[in-house]
Structure 1
Amino acid sequence: MPWWSWILVWVALVSLSLLFFVVMGVRLFRQFMATVKELGEAGDKLTRIPVPAAVSAGTDAAPDANVIGVPPGMAPFAPPHQMRHDYHASKEARREARRQRRVRRKAERGQPQSLRDIEFR
């Protein structure tokens, strides 16, 4: 094998390895830029403050009676005593709604009411 064939072999190997590194570098750069873009979008979603529906619509409608306390997703930033109050208030509201449904259902069926379901207030 003549001496110049070794030079051609080495030039081909070096050029192919450089081409491989350039292609892998471009691919890595594109993946990095896609990750940065998604990270930016996630940051924008997290920094956006939720606005109640009545405020965003521009109406002066009163908020729903079932909505108590802080808007959804903001619980980690609310004071613990307020969250505890909201939890117990919504729990009591659900309990009362179940009791009213039970009384209405028994009245429709003509069944006797339970003593614990009768209001003494």
Structure 2
Amino acid sequence: MPWWSWALIWIGLVLGLLAMLAWFGFALFKKVMATLEALQELGDLVADVTRGREMPPPVRFQPAVFTKPADLYRALELVQRDRAQRRQRRRDSLIARGKLFITRPLTQRTDTDA
């Protein structure tokens, strides 16, 4: 076998390898772009969900050892009342959203064929 036939074989193998790597790179690029698009949509959904929710102010840490028990009970009642209000608002919004799935607007239907 002459030397140039080995050169042609190796050139063919290298070109095949480069073509395969290009194909895999393109497929990987498409998958990464699809993943980034899905993450963008997820971020938009999370932003829509959290847009209407007010964020609580940051609470500065204070050790409870040096606080009066009456103040602690008052703070606990405030936290429980706030939590109950948030639960009630969430429950009301879920009920309202559920009613949208159950009911639909009435449309007037007319018989044009009759």
Taking structure 2 as the reference length, what is the TM-score of the superposition? 0.48
Q: Which has the higher contact order (CA 8 A, sep 6+)?
A: 1
Taking structure 1 as the reference length, what is the TM-score of the superposition? 0.46
